[in-house]
Chains A and B, each alone.
Chain A
Amino acid sequence: MSEIIIFAEIDGDGLHSTAGELISAGKKIAADTGNVVSAALIGGNQDLASQAISLGADKVYLANDDAIQEGVADAYLAALHKICINAEPTVVLTSKTPIGRAVGPRLAYRLGSGIAQDCMDVSADGDSGRVTVTRPVYGGNAMAKFTFADKDPQVVIMRLKAFEAMEPDSSRSGEVIEFELSLDESDIKTKLVETVKEESEGVRLEDAAVIIGMGRGLGGPEPFSQLEELAKVFNGAVGASRAVCDAGWLDHSYQIGLTGKTVTPDVYITVGISGASQHMAGCSSSKNIVAINKDGDANIFKEASFGVVGDWEKVLPAFTETARELLES
């Protein structure tokens, strides 16, 4: 039976959070096409293979080779390419992670097939097996649906958190296939020289339940401390618009948006952010968006559920103080 292959990434000792999301996306296509969902686990072990099965994978390709090195796309690409040549999947799913968004497209081009990136939804036609994806274009100002032509594999890169992983269930069963890779040295053209960690204190943006967003409207880097103070009240984190990062007020690791991080907090409180589509592309799935902006016509008020039209310098201190009192009482 033809299959859907998901590229299951590894994070430390476990599966990357996107592995379960991709399995869920694969299952949605499989519900229409009757395909099996297989996980390509490159550089993994039996334990991780069991995890993938517990998250819903019907089959796992367990592929190892000395040439595989964390962070190096070339090796994962060569491995996934070999698996695809062998398994002839109809669909390949990867995530919009640094590795996933490098490997997915290059695989598609290597095989001469189609590729759609940053997809928020997928569906398939049961008869033809053709996949249709929904994805933002023009910086999120428009949404587009694309349908793949009759060439496999159809390669889809999913936006992070577009699908939810299923609850792991250890009673699920699946097949584990040890896949012989024997990669060639010529497969790997790039070398990872160094990995530099820039540890930031406190809660990671991607994990924070509350995020305070810093925009150009704050006028400079100094107000960061006030936002941090507010974030501490909620045990949350501070993120920023690209304008803030490009101006050098904050490092680019704070950037939320199309070309920054995708976040999905319970509440995202924006201060002095206009709500450009490219910014919203990274936060529009927040459960609640709150806006403090002096311009009542700013786009952010079209996205927010609660807001204050006013100068942040006057609004924020009172907001922070009241929030602190409420949470301490």
Chain B
Amino acid sequence: MSLNIIVCAKQVMDPETPLSAFNVDEAAKRVVPAQGIPPVVNGFCENAVEAALKIKEAAGDATITIISLGNDFVMDVMKKPLSMGADQMILIQDPAAENLDALGTATVLSKAIEKIGEADIVICGQQASDWDNAHVPLGISEMLGIACLSEARSIDLGDGTVTVASSRSDGYDVFEAPLPCLITVSNEIGEPRYPTLRGIMQASRKSPETWTLNDLDLSESDVSPVLTLSELFVPASDRQCEIIEGEDEADSGRLLALKLREEKII
């Protein structure tokens, strides 16, 4: 039996954007994209693609479909999961879905997963590095009414079940759930593989399907927000750093300890 794996992946601003290039438009309540720094596929979503590819390798027969909800997609960026080895991609883009809150996003994505049909495993990154919500996937599992395993650091496919390990502060827990299920992955699942030349060639021949809300039988009123952004700002740091300088670096280290003692910090 072929396994049907769906991975949700999001295009985000590069989180490695230097702070000097990070700007907020407070009036518009949005982050201004940094000039000349292309967006990326969210890191945890790439981990999710990697997890899906490993499951496919273990299962032998599987189809991996990437779905993404967003706007201003940069095709060179978004095709990365395809070049890594995913089979197909669906992009959901709609002017009415440009400023959805997490509930709206989960509504659209779960509708898309239902439309694709018969998903065995849905895999998502644990959070996206723009809004750091870390709960849209959990919402999808609720809407689909399937088991939810979060922050997996390893995934093992069984016979009609999956087993995942999730980190805890003093070790890890191992959970088992029946298929179908949704799994969110942490970076501990493993580095996403680099696309091979062959993968890039294959991806270049694939064109993602594009869906709108209409294709999902959704209207704007189905995705009206329950949470509104009321302010966005860059926090001011009030800390002033006193740089300790001695005759040489070792002396600076010595003086630093003396200073911390004098200030009763140590």
Chain A interfacial positions (CB closer than 8 Å to B): 71-74, 98, 101-102, 104-106, 108-110, 112-118, 132, 135-139, 141-149, 151, 189-200, 204, 206, 210, 234, 242, 246, 252-253, 258-259, 261, 266-267, 277-278, 288-292, 296, 299, 301-311, 314-323, 326-327
Main secondary structure of the interface of A (DSSP, over half): mixed
Q: Which residues 132-176 in B have Cβ within 8 Å of A in the complex?
A: 132-135, 138-139, 141-143, 146-151, 153, 163, 165-176
* 11 A-B residue pairs with CB within 8 Å: A108-B139, A141-B31, A197-B171, A258-B132, A259-B127, A302-B241, A305-B242, A306-B265, A316-B253, A317-B253, A320-B253
A149 near B225 with CB under 8 A, answer yes
> B28 at interface (Cβ–Cβ under 8 A)?
no
Q: Which residues of B contact A135 (CB under 8 A)?
A: 132
Tell me the minimal C-beta distance from A246 to chain B in angstroms: 6
Q: What is the number of contacts between chain A and chain B, taking CB atoms within 8 Å?
A: 271
In the complex, A288→B226 CA distance in Å?
38
Interface digits, B59-86 against A, CB 8 Å rule (1 contact, 0 not)?
0000000000000000000000000000
B232 near A142 with CB under 8 A, answer yes
B253 near A314 with CB under 8 A, answer yes
Q: Which residues of B contact A118 (CB under 8 A)?
A: 132, 134
Q: Beyond A98-B151, A109-B143, A138-B22, is A147–B228 a contact (Cβ under 8 Å)? A: yes
A319 near B253 with CB under 8 A, answer yes
> B257 at interface (Cβ–Cβ under 8 A)?
yes
Interface digits, B99-127 against A, CB 8 Å rule (1 contact, 0 not)?
00111001000000000000000000011
B170 near A191 with CB under 8 A, answer no
Q: Which residues of A contact B176 (CB under 8 A)?
A: 190-191, 193
Q: Which residues of B contact A289 (CB under 8 A)?
A: 239
Q: Which residues of B contact A200 (CB under 8 A)?
A: 170
Tell me the minimal C-beta distance from B132 to chain A in angstroms: 6
| Number of interface residues, chain B, beta carbon within 8 A | 86
Of B48-56, B199-207, B244-252, the stretch lying at the interface with chain A is: B244-252
B233 near A142 with CB under 8 A, answer yes
B188 near A252 with CB under 8 A, answer yes
A196 near B174 with CB under 8 A, answer yes
Q: Beyond A194-B174, A198-B172, A291-B241, is A306–B187 a contact (Cβ under 8 Å)? A: no
B250 near A305 with CB under 8 A, answer no
Q: Which residues of A contact B249 (CB under 8 A)?
A: 308, 310-311, 314-315, 318
A326 near B15 with CB under 8 A, answer no
Sorted nearest first, the 8 A-B pairs with minimum C-beta distance are: A105-B135, A318-B253, A114-B226, A319-B253, A189-B147, A322-B257, A314-B249, A310-B249
A305 near B241 with CB under 8 A, answer yes
> B260 at interface (Cβ–Cβ under 8 A)?
yes
In the complex, A279→B235 CA distance in Å?
15
A102 near B148 with CB under 8 A, answer yes
B174 near A301 with CB under 8 A, answer no
> B57 at interface (Cβ–Cβ under 8 A)?
no
Tell me the minimal C-beta distance from B193 to chain A in angstroms: 15
Tell me the minimal C-beta distance from A108 to chain B in angstroms: 8
Nearest residue (CB) in B for A111 is B142
Nearest residue (CB) in B for A143 is B235
